[in-house]
Amino acid sequence: MSRAFTREDDSENVIADIGERPVSSSRNLVTEQGLVHIEAQLANLREDLAKAEADADRERIATVSRDLRYWQARRENAEVSVPEPDTSVVRFGMKVSIEDDDGKRHAWRIVGEDEANAAKGSISHVSPMAQAMFGKAVGEVATVNGRDWEIVEIQV
């Protein structure tokens, strides 16, 4: 018998192998902007799914459906967290400026995992740097990977 009649279609294998997007086991803290981002992702994916279904594009349907499941899970367990305005210690949602021993400064806003983008000035609340800074005040030191960073400014 010819292999053409026994072999599965390659596109079916691709669809079967896409897997699920991993959902973090950490609390899904988000800023208000983060919640807007999640809802925008959901709206865009619903539109994409409708287009893929209209086109009968099985691979695209599978991929978009997987992404839609991910964002639905993230929306279901999202916890909007707003920093307290009168706190003097680092908390979720705050912008924190730090400085190393060489005087090199960095500033990041601590945000949810899906919002984080260090290149654009935001880090995830589960990152080692954020974890090291939580609960510390201006003048205190956060140590990450054996390197000390002094907290020089906190902004809500």
Per-residue pLDDT tens over the stretch 33-67: 999 999 999 999 999 999 999 999 999 999 999 99
pLDDT digits (tens, 9 = 90+) for 80-133: 999 888 889 999 999 999 999 889 999 999 999 999 999 999 999 999 999 999
- The DSSP string of 58-96 is HHHHHHHHHHHHHHHHHHHTEEE----TT--B--TT-EE
> What's the pLDDT at 87?
85
The answer to whether 27 and 92 have CB atoms below 8 angstroms apart is no
Q: Tokens at residue 19, please?
A: 């897997």
> Confidence class of residue 5 from pLDDT cuts 50, 70 and 90?
low
The answer to whether 49 and 61 have CB atoms below 8 angstroms apart is yes
The CA distance from 79 to 30, in Å, is 6
The CA distance from 54 to 115, in Å, is 31
The CA distance from 72 to 81, in Å, is 19
Helix (H) or strand (E) holding 9: none
Q: State pTM to two decimals.
A: 0.84
Handedness of CA 121, 28, 60, 18 (dihedral sign): positive
> What's the pLDDT at 84?
83
- Rounded to an integer, the average pLDDT of 121-149 is 96
Q: Tokens at residue 115, please?
A: 């919002």
